[in-house]
Amino acid sequence: MPNEISRNWPAPAKLNLFLHINGRRADGYHELQTLFQFIDCCDMLDFQVTESPELRLHSDMSDVVADSDNLILRAAKSLQQYTGFKGGAEIWLDKHLPMGGGLGGGSSDAATTLVALNQLWNTQLSTEELATLGLKIGADIPVFIHGFAAFAEGVGERLQRVNPNEPWYLVIAPDAHVSTAAVFQDPHLPRNTPKLAIDTLMSQAWENDCQNLVVAQYPQVAKALGWLLEYAPSRMTGTGACVFGEFSSQQQALAALAKLPSDMHGFVAKGMNISPLISRIQHP
């Protein structure tokens, strides 16, 4: 009798509520200070454990499946190799988050894969072990594995739990795919923002050090941000291209969304300090 499909594992988006770049390390990575918060917009994954060791990814997006370097498959394979698990998995991805938007969709998909298969394969790794495994695949993956809003330092792997306000957001996804690698390699990127104590950072106005560079290079991002700033405090998340505005109520965010120009795409989402993935584990 085949194993049942385990359904509806969420892979939530994140926002960088601020992003400061403090310097470049000898290995080429950058020292950061950033604040991660989840939103209730998610990719969804289903898993079926198999006796054979093959790992297969199914998605209606051909460019997701065709990429042999896909983060989901890399995550599954790394867990399989690290634990010596003899079986495999069929994985289905229902993609909702825009790719290349700075919402962390690929990293979140990989994190959910590690967390779900650790449970379904009964490999019993701790959260810390999963986060260490995830960090080798992508710098943002540990925050999704831990599942709490976090102040992050280093390359984003040193996490400290925080509880910022949980406003409603209007997120606009410009029709642009911004390369994170290209942004961090750009000679004009600011790399000298002073490191500050968390209490100072949490109490001052929040900014994104990548924003001016991306806005100058991507007119779609500049247009979206310019429009959104008319309605709410707004900025870019990560290295872009998505921008978000903060609203105190869902009604206000939906009212702004209703005025969104027809050539822009956006959605309303709730800020969350606890990831929907954690809720899925605790209440299967």
On whether both 196 and 145 belong to a single domain, the answer is: no
Which distant-in-sequence residues (6+ apart) come within 8 Å of 283 by Cβ?
none
pLDDT for 143: 96
The CATH number of the domain holding residue 251 is 3.30.70.890
Instruction: Report if residue 280 sits inside a domain.
Output: no
Residues 6+ apart with CB under 8 A from 30: 21, 22, 23, 24, 155, 184, 191
Residue 61 confidence (pLDDT): 75
Tell me, yes or no, whether 193 and 60 share the same domain: no
Q: Are residues 148 and 184 in the same domain?
A: no
- Residue 62's pLDDT is what? 63
Q: Do 129 and 261 lie in a common domain?
A: no
Q: Does residue 138 form part of some domain?
A: yes
158 occurs within a structural domain: yes
Position 139, amino acid = A
pLDDT in tens, 146-182: 999 999 998 877 999 999 999 999 999 999 989 888 9
Tokens of 110: 């990989």
Q: Can you give the pLDDT at residue 60?
A: 81
Q: Do residues 221 and 240 touch, judged by C-beta distance below 8 A?
A: yes
Instruction: Give the residue from 132, 162, 192 where a domain finishes.
Output: 162
221 and 267 inside one domain: yes
- The DSSP string of 160-182 is EE------EEEEE--S----HHH
The last residue of one of the domains, among 162, 189, 210, is 162
Pairing label, strands 88-94, 55-59: parallel
Mean pLDDT, the chain, whole residue set: 94
Low-confidence ranges of the chain (pLDDT < 70): 1-2, 62-69, 284
Q: For residues 151 and 135, give the distance between their C-alpha atoms in angstroms, rounded to a whole number.
A: 16
**C-beta of residue 170 within 8 angstroms of C-beta of residue 186:** no
pLDDT for res 65 = 56
Tell me the three state secondary structure of residue 148.
Answer: strand
Cβ–Cβ under 8 Å, residues 30 and 191: yes
Catalytic residue positions, numbered: 14, 140
pLDDT of residue 3: 84
Asked, for residue 248, whether it belongs to a domain, the answer is yes
Same domain for 112 and 182, yes or no, is: no
CB 112 within 8 A of CB 9: yes
Residues 140 and 233 in one domain: no
* Contact (CB, 8 A) for 264 and 225: no
The tally of CA atoms less than 13 A away on the side-chain side of residue 22 is: 14
Instruction: Pull the structure tokens for residue 50.
Output: 């198999």
- Give the structural domain span for 206: 168-272
Whether residue 259 sits in one domain with residue 216: yes
Same domain? For 57 and 109 the reply is yes
Classify residue 4 by its DSSP letter.
Answer: P
